């Protein structure tokens, strides 16, 4: 099968679509990725990639075409809009000039969903089939991120999303909670299919973990580890407040592995509250290195703000934490909390409830280690049953086959 993946973000940027593309090649399919110049999350084009140079790449057998775009910069609303539009225009021009037919065009639809337009253009020209894998609901996620408040603009975005869904042959969703929203935008149930995220293979096999590699960076004590983007959605205001409430237990350490727009604010807040001995920021590391950090954690932390859109999302780190077999402490609502509760793999408090988060951390610190180990094992069992990559990709390929028959 010839598969065109359209994704504004791809290796060396770290997203799950990298893993999917490689696995499809391993299964014998021809996979081409149409993407932009890597610039996430720093907002600057990576070293070695120019605006017009370095237009082709290869990644584990995946052929990559890179089109120029305006980097996202600091992530302001205007700069992001320019970033999004520049990719659409350049990628659409590529489709027009590339003139090669693929059986299926597959869009990895984290924000922005507008990146589906080049895939839909390919469908129109070559009469191929188009699938979109919805990771972020639009326009809801735009509102939740605080990047847009104009009702007129939101109405335009809503019409645009409806148009994209209408022209797409199959809409795949990473969370079953997305289905109602997509159905309300005029999409028939028969066009919608549940396709959850999975964890990268490196989280599923602990045999390659090097415990000593980053041990010198990890504080001693009972360690709560957050791994990932430090942004508005993750509610670091509440995380810092919870950390302050655990200050009476010096052994409790909050370890933050990652980077993002809120990191500087969080570091300043921690310093102002005198929590430098309680909260440690380690910075950003590659996905490949994450297991070498996870192995030092007693609890893994996942948080999302109290927004309706976030309650419908299963954060990707939940699957990673579960696959690695670590217990989870969560401060979030909705489907993400439900998964953790169903798996009995951790402790949950409502989004924004930093008091309960702090108490869950303290209770975990005082609990016996075998209780936490059991929670971690529960998560891994649940992951293997419901989030197995092999089963999910089998279902995806079945979907492609049904479309092109």
Instruction: Supply the pLDDT for residue 42.
Output: 85
Rg of the chain in Å (alpha carbons): 21
What confidence score (pLDDT) does residue 144 get?
64
Q: Are residues 318 and 332 in the same domain?
A: yes
Statement to judge: residues 121 and 14 lie in one domain: yes
Is the same domain home to 80 and 51? yes
Local structure of residue 267 (DSSP, 8 states): H
C-alpha span between 306 and 355 (Å, rounded): 15
- Whether 126 and 182 share a structural domain: yes
DSSP state of 60: T
Please give the Cα distance from 279 to 252 (Å, whole number).
9
Query: Could you tell me the mean pLDDT of each successive run of 10 residues in the chain, 405 residues long?
Result: 97 93 96 96 91 93 97 85 95 94 95 94 95 91 63 85 95 93 92 94 88 94 96 94 97 96 94 96 93 97 93 92 97 96 97 98 94 97 94 95 92
- Pairing of the two strands 222-227 and 299-303: parallel
128 and 229 share one domain: no
Distance CA 87, CA 162 (A): 20
Compute how many other C-beta atoms are within 10 angstroms of the C-beta atom of residue 342: 11
What span, in angstroms and rounded, lies between the C-alpha atoms of 294 and 321?
A: 8
What does the block give as tokens for 370?
């075998």
Q: What does the block give as tokens for 143? A: 């509102």
Residues 48 and 9 in one domain: yes
pLDDT of residue 78: 86
DSSP state of 135: S
In this predicted structure, what is the pLDDT of residue 14? 87
Q: How far apart are CA 216 and CA 214, in angstroms?
A: 5
Class of residue 150 by CB neighbours under 10 A (exposed 0-12, middle 13-18, buried 19+): exposed
Long-range Cβ pairs for the range 285-290 (8 Å, 24+): 285/214, 285/257, 286/14, 287/14, 287/200, 287/202, 288/202, 289/213, 289/214, 290/202, 290/203, 290/227, 290/257, 290/320
pTM of the model: 0.84
Sequence-separated (6 or more) residues with CB below 8 Å from residue 15: 7, 9, 108, 110
Q: Same domain for 210 and 190?
A: no
Closest-CA residue to 104 (of 162, 60, 166, 170): 170
**133 and 206 assigned to the same domain:** no
Give the CATH number for residue 181: 3.40.50.2000
Please identify which residue in the block is written with the tokens 């609890």: 299
Identify whether residues 376 and 396 lie together within a single domain. Answer: no
Regarding whether 234 and 351 lie in a shared domain, the answer is: yes
All residues at 6 or more sequence positions from 169 whose CB lies less than 8 Å from its CB, including other chains: 123, 129, 130, 131, 191, 403
Residues 261 and 166 in one domain: no
- Counted domains in the chain: 2
Are residues 217 and 358 part of one domain?
A: yes
| The predicted structure's pLDDT at residue 165 | 96
Dist. CA 235–CA 165, nearest whole Å: 31
> What is the per-residue burial (b if ≥16 Cβ within 10 Å, else e) of 109-131?
bbbbbbbbbbbbbbbeebebbbb
Q: Residue 152 is inside which H or E element, if any?
A: helix 151-167
Q: How many angstroms separate the CA atoms of 237 and 239, rounded?
A: 6
Range of the domain at 255: 202-386
Do 62 and 25 form a contact (C-beta atoms < 8 A)?
Answer: yes
């Amino acid at each position: 099968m010839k598969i065109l993946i359209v994704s504004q973000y791809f290796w060396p940027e770290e997203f799950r679509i990298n893993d999917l593309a490689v696995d499809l090649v391993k299964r014998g399919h021809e996979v081409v990725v149409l993407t932009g110049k890597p610039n996430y999350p720093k907002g600057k084009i990576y070293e070695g990639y120019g605006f017009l140079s370095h237009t082709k790449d290869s990644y584990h057998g995946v052929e990559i075409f890179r089109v120029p775009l305006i980097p996202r910069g600091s992530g302001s609303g205007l700069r992001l809009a320019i970033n999004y539009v520049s990719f659409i225009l350049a990628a659409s021009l590529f489709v027009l000039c590339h003139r090669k037919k693929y059986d299926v065009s597959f869009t990895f639809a984290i924000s922005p969903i507008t990146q589906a337009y080049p895939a839909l253009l390919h469908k129109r020209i070559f009469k191929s089939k188009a699938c979109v894998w919805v990771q972020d609901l639009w326009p809801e996620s735009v509102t939740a991120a605080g990047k847009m408040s104009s009702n007129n603009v939101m109405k335009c975005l809503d019409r645009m999303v409806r148009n994209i869904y209408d022209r797409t042959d199959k809409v795949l969703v990473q969370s079953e909670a997305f289905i109602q929203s997509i159905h309300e935008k005029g999409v028939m149930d028969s066009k919608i299919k549940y396709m959850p995220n999975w964890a990268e293979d490196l989280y599923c096999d602990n045999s390659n973990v090097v415990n000593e590699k980053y041990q010198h960076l990890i504080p001693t004590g009972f360690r709560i580890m957050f791994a990932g983007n430090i942004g508005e959605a993750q509610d670091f205001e509440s995380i810092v407040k919870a950390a302050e409430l655990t200050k009476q237990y010096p052994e409790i350490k909050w370890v933050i592995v990652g980077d993002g727009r809120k990191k500087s604010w969080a570091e300043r807040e921690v310093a102002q509250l005198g929590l430098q001995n309680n909260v440690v920021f380690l910075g950003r590391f590659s996905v490949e290195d994450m297991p070498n950090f996870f192995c030092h954690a007693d609890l893994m932390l996942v948080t999302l703000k109290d927004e309706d859109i976030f309650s419908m999302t299963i954060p990707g780190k939940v699957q990673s934490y579960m696959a690695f077999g670590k217990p989870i402490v969560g401060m979030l609502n909705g489907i993400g909390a439900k998964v953790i509760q169903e798996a009995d793999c951790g402790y949950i408090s409502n989004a924004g409830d930093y008091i309960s988060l702090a108490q869950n951390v303290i209770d975990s610190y005082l609990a016996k280690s075998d209780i936490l180990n059991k929670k971690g094992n529960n998560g891994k069992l649940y992951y293997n049953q419901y989030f197995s990559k092999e089963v999910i990709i089998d279902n995806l390929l079945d979907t492609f086959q049904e479309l092109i028959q």
